[in-house]
Amino acid sequence: MAEIISLSKVRKKRKREEKEKTASENRAKFGRRKSDKEMEDARKDRRNKDLDGHKIDD
């Protein structure tokens, strides 16, 4: 005889697994360490400062 299962529990389990999969993909796609973000901001600031220094005033 087959094992009796609760369909609502199966649906909830499947939904949780799908959410975890999506979260995992997003962490890999968007997740960065704070130090990485700060380094990128510092590079942007430096680049902007260099560009401003090369402007020609009329």
Question: What is the DSSP track for the chain?
Answer: -PPP--HHHHHHHHHHHHHHHHHHHHHHHH---HHHHHHHHHHHHHHHHHHHHTPPP-
Provide the whole-model pTM. 0.50
pLDDT score of 14 = 97
Residue 57, pLDDT above cutoff 80: no
pLDDT score of 56 = 80
pLDDT for 5-49, tens place per residue?
A: 999 999 999 999 999 999 999 998 888 888 988 999 999 999 999
Kindly indicate the confidence band of residue 2, based on its pLDDT and cuts at 50, 70 and 90.
Answer: confident
